[in-house]
Chain A
Amino acid sequence: MDDIPGDLKRTVLYDLHRSLGAKMVPFAGYEMPVQYANGILAEHLHTRQAASLFDVSHMGQAILEGDAAAALETLVPADLAGLATGRMRYTQFTNENGGILDDLMVANMGAGLFIVVNASRKEADFAHIKEALAERIVMWTLEDRALVALQGPTAADALSALAPAAAEMKFMGFAEMEVGDVACYVSRSGYTGEDGYEISIPADSAVALVEKILALPGVVPGGLGARDTLRLEAGLCLYGSDIDEQTTPVEADLLWSIAKRRREEGGFPGAPIIQRQIADGPGRKRVGIRLDGRAPARAHAEIQNVHGSVVGEVTSGGFGPTIDGPIAMGYVESNCAQPGTEVNLVVRGKLLPGKIIEMPFVAHRYFKG
């Protein structure tokens, strides 16, 4: 309410959001829909039982051509040489300390790599790629494409009316295909823990196509508010909150995204530190916490052990609509990270009891074929 919208950018779907009754807020330099008329709870629950469409056009999209897989492997710890055409993978740009500069999705298009990075980091990421890889690759940033996420258990059924081939894709599959009559990049991925797609659309066709998708049975628009509660329940990291330059992929419990070959060979920024943490275990770990009561704990709430010593800090927290209760994630000393460990979260001077639990809070329901 206090921000002056003058400097904020708008996605190509801005007018559509307004006409759908969105409440717009500043986010990562953009004026984005935080919710529509039904509110965050309703949008969240709808996504878990049907399908919602989220505008994520503020995120950065680019195509890397040339010696892209080998070149990008020098900046991220994922196995990209082993990424088959038509497949997508999650990874992180790391710094020399093993900290995370951003997290991203990388898809093998065959002729190159398609990447999606966070809105708040896209300029820095693209500059980083250019500076490090200019001699090995050509990068095309795709400012002329919208990006939307269709998420939920009925997403595949719904989208099959516009893109029959999409229903055949498996989780983390990627393909160039027509949706309606529009040539899109489609991946079976998302940020909600549900089955669904992310669809990259040429900007000049985006409004018409999004209107068509919204007209599919069971599909309603969802805002950034629901996107955040959905990803929190799914145990997924938000860059700038749960991961940043001070946290490593090992501490962040993202080791699954670093393949064996890369763990052994290294060859990405901060590899010696990350390899040492893999061998010795990290000093702290990202964990999930289920609170016993009804009061939520937000980011930066102190985490104490039952003896009253500070053992960590909440990085994301709030109310989980599907859980129907407060949940949080944060970092704790590794000796407190065991599921079942009782902790207290300090909120307004009061101790809120809770337990470390395995994430995700709500089971993922990806389509693995």
Chain B
Amino acid sequence: MSDMKFTKDHEWIAVDGDVGTVGISEYAQEQLGDVVFVELPETGKAFSKGEEAAVVESVKAASEVFAPVDGEIVETNGSLEDEPGAVNSDAFGNGWFFKIKIADASQLDGLMDKAAYDAYTAELD
């Protein structure tokens, strides 16, 4: 988790080379409650940082998942179609949403590390 970075909108991105795996945080899944549907982006589609890339529907409401950096989608987690609950049960693991080819690695510097994100969410409660 050491090279996992977080956005203020509660996405996480774990970087491996020039590809980042993106999901929503433990804090976010707890706030959302039971996830019943995830709408994933199409592979090959390019997004700018902050652009809506996916949608997560809980029993209560729909929420956007934003691209944490500029880049192109290289893979999506199709298993969420059958098991959207993985977003709740394993937010940092099997609950990942998509992999994005990072266009500008310097954008990662603007994101929070785990300690900064934990401090950020502690203040939200």
Taking A35-B33, A39-B33, A40-B34 as contacts, is the C-beta distance between A294 and B81 under 8 angstroms? yes
Which residues of B lie under 8 Å from residue A229 when comparing CB positions?
A: 59
A40 with B59: CB separation less than 8 A: yes
Size class of the A contact interface (CB-based, 8 Å): 10 to 19
Q: Chain A CB within 10 Å — which of B59, B81, B84 has the most?
A: B59
- A225 contacts B by Cβ under 8 Å: yes
- B113 contacts A by Cβ under 8 Å: no
Number of B residues contacting the other chain (C-beta, 8 Å)?
15
Chain A residues touching B, majority SS? mixed
- A368 contacts B by Cβ under 8 Å: no
Shortest Cβ distance from residue B49 to the other chain A in the assembled complex, whole angstroms: 20
Q: What is the CA–CA distance of A135 and B55 in the complex, to the nearest angstrom? A: 56
B34 with A295: CB separation less than 8 A: no
A40 with B33: CB separation less than 8 A: yes
- B75 contacts A by Cβ under 8 Å: no
- A318 contacts B by Cβ under 8 Å: yes
Which residues of A lie under 8 Å from residue B37 when comparing CB positions?
A: 294-296, 319, 326
Contacts of A10-62 to chain B: CB distance below 8 A: 34-35, 39-41, 44
* Chain B minimum-CB-distance residue to A1: B124
Which residues of B lie under 8 Å from residue A294 when comparing CB positions?
A: 36-37, 81, 84
- B116 contacts A by Cβ under 8 Å: no
- B61 contacts A by Cβ under 8 Å: yes
B59 with A295: CB separation less than 8 A: no
List the 4 closest pairs (A to B, CB-CB), nearest first. Answer: A319-B36, A41-B34, A40-B59, A39-B34
Beyond known contacts A40-B60, A326-B36: 10 more, CB 8 A cutoff: A40-B33, A41-B36, A225-B59, A294-B37, A294-B81, A295-B37, A296-B37, A296-B57, A318-B59, A319-B57
